[in-house]
Amino acid sequence: MLAYTIRRVLMLIPVLIGMSLITFSIIHLIPGNPAQTILGEQATPQAIEQLEEQLGLNEPYFVQYGEYMMSLLQGDLGQSLRTNADITNEMWPFLAATIELTLFAMIFAVVVGVNAGIISAWKQNSIFDYTSMLIALIGVSMPIFWLGLMQQWIFAQELGWFPAFGRGNPRDPVETVTYFYLVDTLLAGRPDQFFTSLGHLVLPGVALGTIPMAIIARMTRSSMLEVLRSDYIRTVEAKGIHHLSVVYRHGFKNAVIPVLTVVGLQTGTLLGGAILTETIFSWPGIGRYVYEAIGTRDYPVIQSGILVIAFMFVMINLIVDLLYSYIDPRIKY
């Protein structure tokens, strides 16, 4: 297991280097001059040239990339051209908000999707099977922005069950330590604010998790149908073991690898693709942070945002690979 883990980690090194190179190259191919953007349209050529020299934008491409990589190896993402703030400190609250929202969305998607898929396969061609797969089809096809607006109208405006915007109660803030509001409210000993923050997560989390939930449900059903038709499942059933134990303990354990693949891919996708949900629900996440940086040609912020999201995607894939070998030891050989 250790040798397999080391091999998988070493394979990430060229991936991460290539990822940083591609990100750095794409950003510098975008039309526009960040110095011109910072100084405004009325800036003189001398002022623009002076700022470019100050920011190192007039250096050769590979010199800029080398300096960028040296900073990354030291854990320094640079400074924002727009705010002059340290990007690492400035980005973390936005990244924490997106991670918290993504985890909530994926917990919802996995719990609902996996169980719906298992029961659909177990009760194949039943009313529950047809209904759950119809809901899954609608969930895959439904635009997130429309679902989010409908949720706000029904559950926030009409019923008043959940708040429609933000992460917590701005009139009674809790001291931020980790910037994960659910964690910070518990650390502060404020269970009332914990449930307030949890209520703010429900609508955007469900909206964001609907599509992954539908995909997970369909994949789980397909994988479970194949497993439940296996000879060893019929042998287990012939021993008189309870149906739930057969389905969940023996069946799902052997059907989980395709489901785990989908969960990993969807988690990485949500980390970088939650900008619509964050916009609709005024959620201060990394998507909105990078989007605003694109509008101002803030190259260091754009590079850092894309690189951090890509790095997290790669790490999620690594975790999934390691879980493969844990679930099925044959894979590591």
pLDDT at 244 over 60: yes
Count of residues in the chain: 333
Q: Does residue 230 sit in the same domain as residue 271?
A: yes
pLDDT tens digits along 216-227: 888 888 888 877
50 and 149 share one domain:
no
78 domain residue, yes or no:
no
Tens of pLDDT, residue by residue over 22-76, are: 877 776 666 666 666 666 667 777 777 776 676 666 677 777 778 778 877 777 7
Residues 160 and 218 in one domain: yes
**How many Cβ atoms are within 10 Å of 195's Cβ, its own excluded?**
12
Residues 319 and 188 in one domain: yes
Give the angle subtended at the CA of 256 by the CAs of 254 and 262, to the nearest 5°: 150
Instruction: Select from 43, 73, 103 the last residue of a domain.
Output: 73
What CATH number does the domain containing 272 carry? 1.10.3720.10
pLDDT at 34: 64
pLDDT band at 197 (very low <50, low <70, confident <90, very high): confident
Let me know if residue 81 belongs to a domain: no
Residue type for position 282: S
Asked if 41 and 166 sit in the same domain, the reply is: no
- Indicate the SS3 state at residue 79: strand
Position 85 scores a pLDDT of 82
> Which pLDDT belongs to residue 38?
64
52 lies in the same domain as 97? no
38 lies in a domain? yes
Residue (of 141, 144, 121, 153) closest to 248 by Cα position? 121
108: containing domain: 93-332
Q: Are residues 147 and 45 in the same domain?
A: no
Residue 159 lies in a domain: yes
Domain presence at residue 80: no
Q: For residues 295 and 197, state if they share a domain.
A: yes
Same domain flag for 27 and 163: no
Report the range of poorest mean pLDDT among 62-76, 149-163, 206-220. Answer: 62-76
- The span from the CA of 75 to the CA of 332, in Å, is 32
Q: What is the pLDDT of residues 301-317, one digit of tens each?
A: 888 888 888 888 888 88
What does the pLDDT average to over 121-140? 81
Both 162 and 245 in a single domain?
yes
Give residue 35's pLDDT.
67
Number of domains observed in the structure of the chain: 2
Q: What pairs with residue 79 in β-bridges?
A: 86
Same domain, 103 and 138: yes
User: What pTM value is reported for the model?
Assistant: 0.81
Please state, rounded to an integer, the average pLDDT across all residues of the chain: 79
pLDDT of residue 117: 85
In-domain check, residue 2:
no
